[in-house]
Amino acid sequence: MTAHTVNFRTERPSYKSKQKVERPREDWQILENTHERIITQATFDAVQKLRGTPRRIDTLGEANPLTGLLFCADCGAKMYNSRSAKEYYDVEYKGKMRRQKTSDHYTCSTNTMSRAAYGDNCSAHYIRTSIVRGIALDTIKAVCFYVRGHEAEFIERVRASSEIRQEETAKAGKKKLAQNTKRIAELDNLFRKTYEDNAAGKLSDKRFEQLSAEYEREQTELEAQNAKLQSEISVFAADSENVNRFLELVSRYTNFDELTTPMLNEFILKICVHAPDKSSGHREQEVDIYLNYIGKFEVPQSLAEPTQEEREAEEAHKVKCEKQREYNRRWYAKHKAKQKEQQREVA
């Protein structure tokens, strides 16, 4: 589908056997661009990414499209989705029926899986799905608006940030490459000394075979790692290709007000959710949106200033939240006082 031919994927143990055995992926031979493409490489990679993420069909009868995109910013683990079957449901509380909203949220999988057995590892990083979708939509709209109005500046900013990332990657890669090369030379000396000790009778044949196998295995792993590092250092992908792909993606979405599943998969690479901060008295949570082809991109602050209507809406939302918090505090104090009164009556 992507114009590549893959040979030597399977083999037969014997010419008498009709059963094919899958070979290791590193033994495959891939011949690129041997025929006409059916789909683009970007589409193929996106589909493979979606297929690699398990998507559980929950009580709503469908999988949440954000699954596989959300990650904990602290431990790096995937975040798990939890939601109920109906949009609203009625519950009975102290003899009265109360209409309660369902829960649709994400939490850190490390905290969810380890809390019961091992204690608290990481924190919940609780965030509602509606909040994530709103942030993702606002980010995509802001970047698309900036690209359409300032295309030349956008290209320059992406290339500048990419050069910085490449320099950091190359620096770390060269350091690791030097360390691996030094260790490979040390293993050669160790193997030579081990051979001499075995020849002189200072080391048994069994011990020699064990040590030589360990040295050879480690050396093979380091050489493979060096080959990968060398290719990353010597070959940098052209930034213009990624920029052009993103520009083409923006041109296909000219006017939108809602976040669809295809748009989500085409624009979003991953979403990192930080732990909430309550030091100011309000719950604030940072969310990082990484876009395909360009990574985390910050729109200039001068273009991201909120309008008067948005500022008024934000102030109204803060007032509403403060009223709700005050109501909750009063209700909780009244509830505690009532509990103490009932305990005194029982005593």
342: in domain: no
14: in domain: no
Q: Which amino acid is at 298?
A: E
| 200-236: pLDDT as tens digits | 888 888 888 888 888 888 888 888 888 877 766 665 5
109 vs 100, residue with greater confidence: 109
| 285-310: pLDDT as tens digits | 999 999 888 888 888 766 555 666 76
Average pLDDT over residues 2-29: 82
pLDDT of residue 224: 86
41: burial class by Cβ within 10 Å (0-12, 13-18, 19+)? Answer: middle
312: in domain: no
| pLDDT score of 147 more than 80 | yes
Tokens of 254: 């000219």
19: in domain: no
313: in domain: no
336 vs 319: CA distance, rounded Å: 26
pLDDT band at 157 (very low <50, low <70, confident <90, very high): confident
96: in domain: yes
DSSP bridge pairs for 5? 31
Work out how many domains the chain is built from and give that number: 1
**Enclosing domain of residue 157:** 39-304
| 334-344: pLDDT as tens digits | 888 888 888 88
The separation between CA 176 and the C-alpha centre of its own chain, rounded to angstroms, equals 24
94: in domain: yes
Nearest by Cα to 127 from 69, 167, 85, 61: 69
Question: Who contacts 73 (Cβ-Cβ below 8 Å, separation ≥6)?
Answer: 125, 272, 273, 274, 275, 286, 288
322: in domain: no
